[in-house]
Structure 1
Amino acid sequence: MSARALPDLEHTCEVALRPNDFDWAGHLNNSVYVQLLETGRWEWGIACGGDPREGELVAVVLQLRLDYLTAVDWDPVGRLVVRTALAGRTAYSFSLTQGIERTDGTVVARGRVRLGLLHRDTKRVHRADLHTLLNIPGQTA
């Protein structure tokens, strides 16, 4: 792997739904989709070798695009699958693609998020050094 190359960083997790995740119409509330994506990003970071609760760098959301594809009907004990993958990187940000699916594989939403890195204490912007953030062997970018 070259100094700038990153491995294929993908992760899938299953998230339990709660009764209060649904609105009066019996559909999964639109705000819950954003929470599901965030859970997927946390799990992705840990699965890829970095624990976002530790270290000097923290990822902050710079941009979020979310496409709702189909409703998720009332199921207070249901589960959804969140797929997260590294989609790209610039000097000061990186992007992830994310999908939310029913357990049968039906995609109900797709998202793309662009994240930047800040130093936890100083709040200063940091280069998008995923090798360090995720403890990936190799030189920093």
Structure 2
Amino acid sequence: MSHRPTPPAPLKPAGLSHPCEVQVPLRPNDFDWAGHLNNSVYPQLLETGRWEWGLAHGADLRHSPLVAVVLRLQLDYLRTVEWDPVGRLVVRTSLADRSPYSFTLAQDVVEPGGTPVARGLVRLGLVDRHTKRVHRADLESLLGPTGTVA
């Protein structure tokens, strides 16, 4: 009797709490005159992590009428990143909390060896790009049956 493996189930919101990791290359202009990664670069790193998290879970908002907007950003700088114009950092993103009209992502920025350099919490809401009206942050409807945006 042949035993066929079961195909993977579509992603469900319960699986969204698993971290998604992405390596982000650093650019020479990301560093300030003192040779440290500029504080303004960290929110950009978090945004890259959020996009990768969404894409990894089937939520591609590039062609959606919905736009994710930052409602709150909490960012703790833990350690200085020294000058390395060809260096990389890893951004880990996972679902931390959800409510009817927003969801919160926990994000860590770490060196490739695993040392944390920053930690963020970002609360996001959804807005219709055409009407500018607030949309329910219903992750079940955001992810369609095939893992794409509904």
- Asked if Structure 1 and Structure 2 have the same fold, meaning a TM-score greater than 0.5 normalized by the shorter chain, the answer is yes
Q: 2:85 aligns with which of 76, 81, 88?
A: 76
CA contact 1:69–1:110 (8 Å) conserved in 2: yes
2-structure distance, mates of 1:54, 1:134: 14
Matches within 5 A, 1:1-141: 6-9=13-16, 10-135=19-144
Structure (1 or 2) with the larger CA radius of gyration:
2
CA contact 1:49–1:136 (8 Å) conserved in 2: no
Q: TM-score, normalized by length of structure 1?
A: 0.90
Structural RMSD (CA): 1.3
CA contact 1:79–1:103 (8 Å) conserved in 2: yes
Q: CA deviation at 1:134?
A: 3.3
Q: CA deviation at 1:136?
A: 5.8
- Large movers: runs of 4+ above 6 Å: none
2-structure distance, mates of 1:134, 1:126: 14
Q: Deviations over 1:47-86 (max 9, x none)?
A: 1101120212111000000000000000000000000000
Q: CA deviation at 1:135?
A: 2.9
Share of identical aligned residues, percent? 66
2-structure distance, mates of 1:81, 1:7: 23
Q: Deviations over 1:16-70 (max 9, x none)?
A: 0000000000000000001000010011111110112021211100000000000
